[in-house]
Structure 1
Amino acid sequence: MSVYSLYVINKSGGLIYNRDFSEAARVETNDSLRLASIWHSLHAIAGQLSPVPSCTGIELLEADSFNLHCFQTLTGTKFLLVVDPHASFIPALLQRIYELYSDYVMKNPFYETEQVIKCELFDENVELLIRRYLQQAT
């Protein structure tokens, strides 16, 4: 099992964080920006078209070679995790990433909401979390 990439999209659809965890998943910056924009639009449209009144949008996109999981916060920030199709416990992993975001980014007095995330402690702890997840999954 593998975790390929993590993206964080602000409520306006701007890419504020991206991290690749495998060499095979290296994505160009322009492609990451396009992915964020497209996902933000699809997520919003899906929420509006859904016959279920409380639907907030797409939570999982399944493909042959990857799955894309989305966790949306109450503020509209979206966490996208691109993983191997056989990966398990991804919602719990996304919840833990959100907790790290809350602890290291949102509590940082120098961080301005909706801006690009540049926080070494967040980077280090996300990397550590993903490494632990991959070790437990093997």
Structure 2
Amino acid sequence: MAIFGLWVINKAGGLVYQRNFADGLVQLTSNEYLVLAGTLHGIHAITSRLSPTGTSSGAQVIEAETFKMTILLSPTGTKFVLLTSLAETSASTVLQKVYEAYADAVMKNPFHTPEMPIRSEGFDTRIAALIGTGHT
């Protein structure tokens, strides 16, 4: 079981935090990550409107052949996305802890501008302690 990466996407669909945890991942350019975040934001918005039985918060897990993306939508519209192996079972729990770290280290920082890229050593440290190298 492995955690490959973490993305934080603001409510407008912009990528405000991206970090890889596993060696061997294809390295993408900053623009490619921004495009992927915007695309995921659009897919999430569409899936929230497709529910045939009332309201939906959108896609929570997107599964591919070799990995899955687990999405946590915060009450403010910020999305936390964890890229993991298919066998990873703790993604939702990890995302909840990432959200708690975000609330404590980023949103309580008086120098952080909401919706802007996250540049917080405290957040980076907490994420490293929580996820480490990506192997759980």
TM range (shorter): over 0.9
Distance in 2, Cα, partners of 1:17 & 1:7: 6
Distance in 1, Cα, partners of 2:29 & 2:109: 28
Describe how 1:27-106 pairs up with structure 2 within 5 A: 27-106=28-107
Give the conservation status (yes or no) of the 8 Å contact 1:10–1:76: yes
User: Tell me, which stretches of 5 or more residues in structure 1 are unaligned?
Assistant: none
Q: Which moved more, 1:28-37 or 1:94-103?
A: 28-37
Give the conservation status (yes or no) of the 8 Å contact 1:20–1:27: no
User: Tell me, which stretches of 5 or more residues in structure 2 are unaligned?
Assistant: none
Distance in 2, Cα, partners of 1:52 & 1:127: 40
Q: Which moved more, 1:29-38 or 1:68-77?
A: 29-38
- Amino acid in the other structure paired with 1:13: G
TM-score, normalised with respect to structure 2: 0.94
Partner-residue secondary structure (3-state), 2:80: strand
Quote the residue 1:10 is aligned against: 10
CA RMSD of aligned residues (A): 1.4
- Amino acid in the other structure paired with 2:33: S
**How many residues matched?**
135
Distance in 2, Cα, partners of 1:39 & 1:52: 23
Q: Alignment identity in percent?
A: 39
Quote the residue 2:111 is aligned against: 110
4+ residue segments displaced more than 4 Å: none
Distance in 1, Cα, partners of 2:29 & 2:64: 20
**More helix per residue: 1 or 2?**
1
Distance in 2, Cα, partners of 1:9 & 1:52: 27
TM-score, normalised with respect to structure 1: 0.93
Distance in 2, Cα, partners of 1:132 & 1:95: 18
Deviation at 1:29, TM superposition (A): 1.4
Distance in 1, Cα, partners of 2:23 & 2:97: 24
Q: Which moved more, 1:25-34 or 1:100-109?
A: 25-34
